[in-house]
Amino acid sequence: MTRSNPSEQPWRKALLASDASLQQAISCLNESTSQIVLVVSADERLIGTLTDGDIRRGLLRGLGLDSPVDSLINHDPLVVPPELGRDAVLQLMRANRVHQLPVVDTDRHVVGLHLLDELMAPRRRRNLMVIMAGGQGTRLRPHTENCPKPLLPVGGKPMLEHIIERAKSDGFGHFVLSIHYLGHMIEEYFGDGSRWGVSIEYLREDSPLGTAGAISLLNPRPELPFVVSNGDVLTDIHYGELLDFHCRHAASATMAVRLHEWQHPFGVVRTDGVDIVGFEEKPISRSHINAGVYVLEPAALGLLKRAEHCDMPTLFARLKEEAARTIVYPMHEPWLDVGRDDDLKRARAAHPRAEGQ
């Protein structure tokens, strides 16, 4: 399996060898435009950082352009692990009044760089977002007898519109909607997306193809990692953060998951044969469940046959068989899979404008 080229990651322009000169540090600073230089060892472990201010202070001290940078390095910079979420990173940066924050793994290898400006104003993303909107919504009847499930109103607008607007706020502007049941209604409502300032195209399924089968129809294939979401999932997830997490971990496929807790309604008796070995009073079981949002590398499409039914867990299993890296993105944001009438009621209760619909 092939992945995105690591050399295309902008933060790599900020990397500088530890034996570099002041002139090389200045060139690195100008080229990266991130206002920070990440000084690394030969295997890209973070040694320290340099800023424009550090360089200016060195010049004031009389250092020449050919002087080594080792005396200017901040050897104890603030860093964060890859799994730290966007909100926590923003809070940390604001509290410490820093505009750049290196991302390092457990071995201190540099794997990314957070920039405050980018976090505050999400950059425009060229990555595609595919939304599965072709389901029949049989469990939501009679609501879906004359209306496709993604168009059911929540908070005064269709569920699908919430997803698109959320993704747009994260910098996504190119969407593909996979449609089947009453798909013409979805096309009539969203059109080409110009009303929302985005571009919308459509995959028309002749028969239901499943959450992964539908993306086999993509033509042309994406050149960058792309996000896939079910059209009935309402969540406050940051799709851009999910995409960045996927790229930082060099995965072939990433699945957003939620922690699900279930309490047994009875006291549980632990036995060994006929002997009682312990008791648990209404124990709580915890597991991760599929949240219906994914990121895939374009190469993953090579494991799908065009127009053949396939669900996303099956595609992940195929990738695993090919020794491709498949990972989870643990999410904590509000999330609701609107599959049943009770779910729809909960979604509408969470959006006051939905009253009276």
Task: Sketch out the chain's domains with CATH numbers.
Answer: 6-120 (3.10.580.10), 129-256+286-354 (3.90.550.10)
Among 23-37, 160-174, 293-307, where is mean pLDDT lowest?
23-37
Q: What average pLDDT is seen over the chain?
A: 84
pLDDT (tens digit per residue) in 226-260: 999 988 888 888 898 899 889 988 999 999 988 76
For residue 25, give the 3-state DSSP assignment.
helix
Q: How far is CA 105 from CA 45, 102, 141, 149, 248, in A?
A: 9, 10, 48, 42, 10
Say which DSSP state 122 is in: P
Closest residue by Cα to residue 166 from 254, 244, 237: 237
pLDDT, average across residues 297-304: 94
The H or E element spanning position 168 is: helix 159-169
pTM of the model: 0.63
What per-residue confidence (pLDDT) applies to 338? 62
Is the pLDDT score of 175 beyond 80? Answer: yes
Q: Give bridge partners of residue 112 from the DSSP assignment.
A: 103
For 15-66, write each residue's pLDDT tens digit. Answer: 999 899 988 998 888 888 788 999 999 999 999 999 888 887 887 788 888 8
Q: How confident is the model at residue 270 (pLDDT cuts 50, 70, 90)?
A: confident
pLDDT at 4: 41
Distance CA 145, CA 156 (A): 20
pLDDT of residue 16: 92
How confident is the model at residue 224, as a pLDDT? 95
Report how far residue 79's alpha carbon sits from residue 182's, in angstroms, rounded to the nearest whole number: 50
